[in-house]
Amino acid sequence: QALNDEICEICEVWTAESLFPCRVCSRVYHDGCLRRMGYLQNDSAVEVTETAHTETGWSCYYCDNLNLLLTEEEMYSLMETLKLCKIIPETCLTLDDFLHYKHLVHKQQFERPMAEEQEERAALQFSALDPDKKGHIEWHDFLSHESIQLLQKLRPQNALLRLLTAKERERARAAFLALDQDSDGFIGEGECHRARHAWFRKHQKETPSCSVSISHVGPMSESSPVSSGSGKSQEKTPPAPEREEARPVDWPGFLRENVAYILAARPNSAALHLQPPA
Ligand SMILES: [Zn+2]
Ligand SMILES: [Zn+2]
């Protein structure tokens, strides 16, 4: 079983008072130390103390920031793309900004415009990044999303698997074993795909109607820009590789299929940084 460190990451002191464990890595922290270093703003202090010891858990400042997973070169290439697409760092993005950006990136990579279906996926991703339906997405959520997208694009799957921590592997293993009810080492492909939604453990705000719940599968909500009017996004079957067949999935396959989503679920933010296909 993955063990937590015994001393606080910041002051390196052991004390009997309770330490807050990170849900991703083995680091533990004093809340006083987090506050002293400026990692806790006034109201997030309460959030940490409330969630760190719950099922939801809390990610420390290393694990909360997906951007830190990028190498310097990858970061440079991301910043170049943002500059080309006239995205101003540290600002919020509206749906139009986001779609415009996605169009440009797509054109750059594939030298043809985005298909209607891809645009719908992008719009769904936007609403997943805007759980409170403010009509814009925060810069750090956008950056986390783009970071995980870039990792998916640039790194081989084995390299992504190496990013998983002992805790993440343990949780994935438990999820796989729970799905493998007859213990033959295989689960259905559908179950494997549905699991991609299950990694996101988000802190529930007091306004339950607009937060994305962990178990939420399918179109984001009535008010999301693409699902309004018709059930279009649900009728559309995903592209060929996503089609469900009865192909059994073993443990390594399960981990490969889910690794990007497990990583994307690290940040504490209520946003969903990588929306799994419905
Ligand atoms: Zn400390
Ligand atoms: Zn951590």
Residue 228: pLDDT band (50, 70, 90) is: very low
Residue 108: pLDDT band (50, 70, 90) is: confident
* CATH code for the structural domain at 66-164: 1.10.238.10
pLDDT(138) > 60: yes
The Å distance, Cα 31 to ligand 1 centre, comes to 7
Q: What is the pLDDT of residue 124?
A: 96
Under the phi-then-psi rule, with left for phi > 0, alpha for psi from -120 to 50, and beta for the rest, what region is 5?
Answer: beta
Which of the ligands is closest to the CA of residue 19?
1
Length of the chain: 278
Contact status, residue 183 vs residue 20, Cβ threshold 8 Å: no
**Residue-wise pLDDT tens digits, 239-255:** 555 454 568 999 999 99
Which of the ligands is closest to the CA of residue 9?
1
Contact status, residue 256 vs residue 157, Cβ threshold 8 Å: yes
Which of the ligands is closest to the CA of residue 27?
2
Which of the ligands is closest to the CA of residue 64?
2
Neighbours of ion ligand 1 (CB under 5 A): 8, 10-11, 30, 33
The Å distance, Cα 184 to ligand 2 centre, comes to 34
**Residue of 143, 151, 155, 64 whose CA lies nearest to 101:** 143
Which of the ligands is closest to the CA of residue 68?
2
Choice between 36 and 230, residue whose per-residue pLDDT is larger: 36
